[in-house]
Structure 1
Amino acid sequence: MIERRALAGVAAALAAAPLAARPAVAQEEVRNYPDRPVRIIVPYAPGGANDILARLYGQKLSERLGQPFVVENRPGAQAILGTEAVARSRPDGTTLLLGASGPIVFNPATYAQLPYDSLRDLAPISLLASFPLVLVVAAASPHRSITDLIAWAKENPARANYGASGAGFQLPTELFNQRAGTRFQYVAYRGSADSVNAAANAEVTIALVDSGPASIAMSAGRVRALAVTSKERVPAYPDVPTMAELGFPEVEATLWSGVFAPASTPRSILDRLQSECAAITALPDIRDRLKALAMDPVGNDQNSFRGTIEREIGIWSAVARAAHIRLER
């Protein structure tokens, strides 16, 4: 009987040992992380908003965590190449993704097949910043309001078109088409700046673009803004109404950029990175820099970020189906 009790006690101790050890292991991971340089892969060319964000946060993370956070640009294929590289990387916190809503939610909505699954293969850490889209027309355009624009587009469907540089701009414009009953035709451009220039030169009727390039063209007097897709008016141009104010509450679109790690990265490392990203987002100099880029600082937690991704994949997949948009690689 004594031997049985002793054996039972040993078995219980052995069973409990892994459970007791886990917090210590997790603490050790956090204490040692990072113990080598960390790569931040940006799936876009240098100089864009995501590249700037990666370098801003990379510098702060280096200062706070004592290891270099090195930005590596891997552009190509609608950001698929760089995103796939991170999804297939070793899940040890040494390879991160500065991911935008384009490859994370719009690509799954439009591509028949992708080499990664946004929710299965990537661990969201923190959504850093968001920004609305702005519907612009040429400064010399006769369209002074959304009402004028829609009426003209319905009378001239063969002439109505829009410029867009990817699914992140194409799908919101198609959502506007669906709600307004218009048939603006898609004209592809390489980037947002090209789309804005096309609208400014009247090569296309409208462009629905991110606030950064729109602000530059507006300041130069080359385009006029008719609406924004945010819930509230944008402080930088308070006279521009929201789509909701104009009678299209469903046409709400906010693009964003955030930090991701490969799936299966230890939770303790994810938590440490989330905490650091949130703290950096709260810094006055970072907030001022983001505002200068026409971005709204966010810095949320992992669960909130994942919820945003799940919700938006559903929304934009429905828009893509209604617009009969399905892409092949």
Structure 2
Amino acid sequence: MHASRKAGRFVRHLAARGAIALLCATSAQAEPPYPARPLTLIVPYAAGGTTDVVARQFAVALQRALGQSVVVENKPGVAGTMGATALTRARPDGYTLAVMPISVFRQPFIQKTPFDPATDFTYLARITGYTFGAVVRADSPWQGWHDFLAAARARPGMVSYGSPGQFTSPHLTMMELAGKENLTVNHVPFKGDADCLNSLMGNHVQLCAAGSSAGTLVDAGKLRWLNLWTAQRSPRWPDAPTLRELGYDIVSNSPYGVAGPKNMEPHVVRILEAALRRAAEDPQHLAALKLHDQDLMYLDSAGYTRYAMQQIAREKTLVRRLGIKAD
């Protein structure tokens, strides 16, 4: 009888161990190892611009955080929304991510888009924002912003400026400024800062509304800022006035982050969220931000999601106020 009880306990023990093993196997099956292969990070601007240069340093830092390669893929066009469009076709497995500029929240109110920013993405982390400004060639006769205004008033519709794309933040800020000054100027959209600045250097446009990728050319004495759109003067370019100093209550820094497709697995989101934070705070990425006069503006997944929902509402109001729509 004693032996029978021992045998019964042994059988129950084996059954319990079997149940635990089955549970672990089921859990392992439900949560496969991640990441098990390289990731793609889509940058929705042309190579060589501010976003691309910083994003490539960020990708290197993300590789270290994840232990997997991160391949940067440029998809310029449509006001920086091609990455968002690509996410709508991607599997929600965590292997396709995209840089999400603020224009993703704006574009659906301007024209029909294949995505809804409120429902179609998993917002993983907000990373940083830009330093924007109006920049001219160093040999331009415009020594300050008021010189540009005078020239534009004297020749309505004859002064051309470039931006990194139609209805991007630099374009909309220039629209606001032109509206406040009652100017008629010619806008030339490009696929990114690099193309705009090349056109400026070739004297095909007279001014660029650009990000801080213009800074290396400013530092080299080839370009000159007429103003910056930051809240305070930049320590790097202390002679450039802010829009507030020039009498406009405007600050434009266009925060951006990283997102994936909707319906991503929670355990993948947790892994990515932690890795994205480590990458954002990585010294190599921070050095890239400093070089381009950008601030770290990190938010975790929950915080970035809240920010996205708030920004969608703000962009809807802005589009209505400016009365803009696609051609």
TM-score of the superposition, structure 2-length normalised? Answer: 0.78
Which amino acid is the alignment partner of residue 287 of structure 2? D
With over 3 angstroms needed to count, the CA separation of the structure-2 counterparts of 1:48 and 1:141, relative to structure 1, is: closer
Question: Equivalent residue for 1:164?
Answer: 163
- Matches of 1:240 and 1:253, distance apart in 2: 15
Shift in Å, 1:56: 3.0
Q: What is the aligned-residue identity percentage?
A: 28
- Matches of 2:55 and 2:221, distance apart in 1: 31
Shift in Å, 1:285: 2.7
- Matches of 2:188 and 2:76, distance apart in 1: 22
Shift in Å, 1:188: 3.0
Bigger Cα displacement from structure 2, 215-224 vs 59-68: 59-68
Q: What CA deviation, in whole Å up to 9, does each residue of 1:233-252 have, x standing for no partner? A: 22220121111121101x22
Question: Equivalent residue for 1:125?
Answer: 124
Question: Equivalent residue for 2:186?
Answer: 185
Contact 2:61 2:284 in 1 (8 A): no
Q: What CA deviation, in whole Å up to 9, does each residue of 1:54-110 have, x standing for no partner? A: 4433333333333333334444544444422212322222221133334x2343343
Which amino acid is the alignment partner of residue 189 of structure 1? F
- Matches of 1:47 and 1:202, distance apart in 2: 19
With over 3 angstroms needed to count, the CA separation of the structure-2 counterparts of 1:233 and 1:25, relative to structure 1, is: farther
Instruction: Give the SS at the match of 2:129.
Output: strand
Residue 105 in structure 1 maps to residue 105 in structure 2: yes
Question: Equivalent residue for 1:16?
Answer: none
Matches within 5 A, 1:261-272: 261-272=260-271
Which amino acid is the alignment partner of residue 301 of structure 1? D
Point out where structure 2 has 5 or more consecutive residues left out of the alignment: 1-22
Instruction: Give the SS at the match of 2:254.
Output: strand
Residue 34 in structure 1 maps to residue 46 in structure 2: no
- Could you say what the CA RMSD is over the residues aligned between the two structures, in angstroms? 3.0
Instruction: Give the SS at the match of 1:113.
Output: coil
Which amino acid is the alignment partner of residue 177 of structure 1? A
Contact 1:174 1:319 in 2 (8 A): no
Point out where structure 1 has 5 or more consecutive residues left out of the alignment: 1-20
Matches within 5 A, 1:52-71: 52-71=53-72
Contact 1:125 1:274 in 2 (8 A): yes
Shift in Å, 1:125: 0.9
Question: Equivalent residue for 1:287?
Answer: 286
Q: What CA deviation, in whole Å up to 9, does each residue of 1:138-177 have, x standing for no partner? A: 3233333333433443343233332223121211210111
Shift in Å, 1:130: 1.5
Question: Equivalent residue for 2:326?
Answer: 327
Contact 2:46 2:192 in 1 (8 A): no
Instruction: Give the SS at the match of 1:186.
Output: strand
With over 3 angstroms needed to count, the CA separation of the structure-2 counterparts of 1:267 and 1:135, relative to structure 1, is: same
- Matches of 2:102 and 2:85, distance apart in 1: 15
Which amino acid is the alignment partner of residue 178 of structure 1? G
Contact 1:43 1:98 in 2 (8 A): yes
Residue 136 in structure 1 maps to residue 135 in structure 2: yes
Question: Equivalent residue for 2:248?
Answer: 248
Question: Equivalent residue for 1:153?
Answer: 152
- Matches of 2:291 and 2:182, distance apart in 1: 35
Contact 1:76 1:82 in 2 (8 A): no
Shift in Å, 1:314: 4.0
Contact 1:139 1:200 in 2 (8 A): no
Which amino acid is the alignment partner of residue 142 of structure 2? H
- Matches of 1:119 and 1:293, distance apart in 2: 30
Instruction: Give the SS at the match of 2:276.
Output: helix
Contact 2:45 2:191 in 1 (8 A): no
**How many residues end up aligned between the 2 structures?**
300
Question: Equivalent residue for 2:211?
Answer: 210
TM-score of the superposition, structure 1-length normalised? Answer: 0.78
- Matches of 1:315 and 1:81, distance apart in 2: 21
- Matches of 2:173 and 2:89, distance apart in 1: 30
Shift in Å, 1:322: 4.5
Residue 89 in structure 1 maps to residue 90 in structure 2: yes
Q: What CA deviation, in whole Å up to 9, does each residue of 1:21-76 have, x standing for no partner? A: 9xx969x74x8332443332333444444444444333333333333333344445
